[in-house]
């Protein structure tokens, strides 16, 4: 969208060990002033790597995010992590409502919204994911599903600085399949309309990322679509060369 600086965010999912800091270092090295002038870059590694990555990236324009958090600030929630802990570790953002969380952990829109509110409570940027399944798309329900997720998952009181929406068709994640540019344009315009209805002017400035099988070879086409303000990238974000190849689309 005109006037919005795009963001390419890498979701490493459950991939990466301490030694993977080398990929972060390569990304930081390659993310030169020319690229950084055109787009922002963020890496969301497994939670155990967030603190070390944030430290490593602190002198660079690359930011670090988490992949999920609990809605509570602290307490008896064994194994969970609070948004405040991500803030304390140096994260700038937390992804919430990724389809793998919605599917593997049964997270409802209400749960996702509580998590997004927690991210804001901690002073971080919430990257809220939405997207339809293959069956839903084939049944012509894409806009219905995405509309319901947007209405139910997005937090009240958001600003253009602390909310990012990621449209990730579930059937495009990790499959090599992508929607057509026209399909992406349709859904992103629809999300933009909903954002403006919910937040007024702010809604016109919230970034809407596309996610699902983005790679260097298709990034230029997808990133050129109206209302696509960057990408959320899984597989291709694991290798600095691919990540930089996507950033080169700008």
Counts for the chain of helices (H) and strands (E), in that order = 11, 8
10-49 residues in contact with ligand PEP (CB under 6 A) are 11
Under the binding rule (CB under 6 A), the answer on residue 169 touching ligand PEP is no
234 among annotated binding-site residues: yes
Q: How far apart are CA 68 and CA 66, in angstroms?
A: 6
The Cα 235–Cα 185 span in angstroms is 23
Q: Does 211 bind ligand PEP (CB under 6 A)?
A: yes
Give CA torsion, residues 83, 85, 91, 96, to 10 deg: -30
Do 222 and 178 contact (CB within 8 A), yes or no?
yes
Residue 3 counted as an annotated binding residue: no
Confirm or reject binding of residue 212 to ligand PEP (CB under 6 A): yes
Among 20, 142, 213, 227, binds ligand PEP (CB under 6 A): 213
We find the least distance from the C-beta atom of residue 234 to ligand PEP, in angstroms, to be 2
Minimum gap (Å) between residue 242 Cβ and ligand PEP? 10
Assess contact for 207 and 7: CB atoms under 8 A.
Answer: yes
Please say if 98 is a catalytic residue.
yes
The two tokens of residue 76 are 């008896």
Quick one: CA dihedral 154, 159, 162, 167, positive or negative? positive
Least Cβ distance, residue 66 to ligand PEP (angstroms): 14
Nearest residue (CB) to ligand PEP, 154 versus 173: 173
120 tagged catalytic: no
Closer Cβ to ligand PEP, 20 or 199, answer by number? 20
Stretch binding ligand PEP (CB under 6 A), from 20-28, 105-113, 187-195, 226-234: 226-234
d(C-alpha 57, C-alpha 70), whole Å:
25
Residue 170-199 contact track with ligand PEP, rule CB under 6 A, x = bound: ---xx-------------------------
Which of 54, 128, 209, 232 is the binder for ligand PEP (CB under 6 A)?
Answer: 232
- Cα–Cα separations (whole angstroms), residue 40 to 10, 100, 144, 209, 221: 11, 25, 31, 12, 18
Q: Are 44 and 83 in contact (CB under 8 A)?
A: no
Q: Are 109 and 80 in contact, with CB atoms under 8 Å apart?
A: no
* Catalytic site residue from 70, 98, 120, 188: 98
- Does 233 participate in binding ligand PEP (rule CB under 6 A)? yes
* Catalytically active residues, by annotation: 98, 168
- Binding-site residue numbers for substrate are 11-13, 174, 213, 234-235
Residues that bind ligand PEP (CB under 6 A): 11, 168, 173-174, 211-214, 232-236
């Amino acid at each position: 969208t005109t006037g919005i600086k795009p963001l390419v965010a890498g979701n490493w999912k459950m991939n990466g060990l301490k030694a993977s800091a080398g990929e972060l270092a390569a990304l930081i090295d390659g993310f030169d002033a020319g690229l950084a002038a055109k787009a922002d870059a963020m890496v969301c590694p497994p939670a155990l790597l967030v603190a070390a990555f944030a430290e490593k990236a602190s002198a660079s324009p690359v930011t670090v995010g988490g992949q999920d958090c609990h809605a509570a600030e602290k307490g008896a929630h064994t194994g969970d992590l609070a948004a405040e802990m991500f803030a304390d570790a140096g994260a700038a953002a937390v992804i919430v409502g990724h389809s793998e969380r919605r599917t593997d952990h049964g997270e409802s829109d209400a749960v996702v919204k509580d998590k997004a509110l927690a991210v804001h409570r901690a002073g971080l940027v919430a990257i809220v994911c939405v997207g339809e399944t293959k069956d839903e798309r084939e049944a012509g329900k894409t806009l219905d599903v995405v509309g319901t997720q947007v209405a139910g998952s997005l937090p009240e009181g958001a600003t253009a600085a602390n909310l990012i929406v990621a449209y990730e068709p579930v059937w495009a994640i990790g499959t090599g399949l992508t929607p057509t540019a026209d399909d992406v344009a349709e859904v992103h315009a629809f999300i933009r309309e909903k954002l403006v209805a919910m937040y007024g002017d702010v809604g016109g400035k919230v970034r809407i990322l596309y996610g699902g099988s983005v790679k260097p070879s298709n990034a230029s086409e997808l990133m050129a679509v109206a209302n696509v303000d960057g990408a959320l990238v899984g597989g291709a974000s694991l290798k600095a060369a691919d990540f930089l190849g996507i950033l080169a689309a700008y």
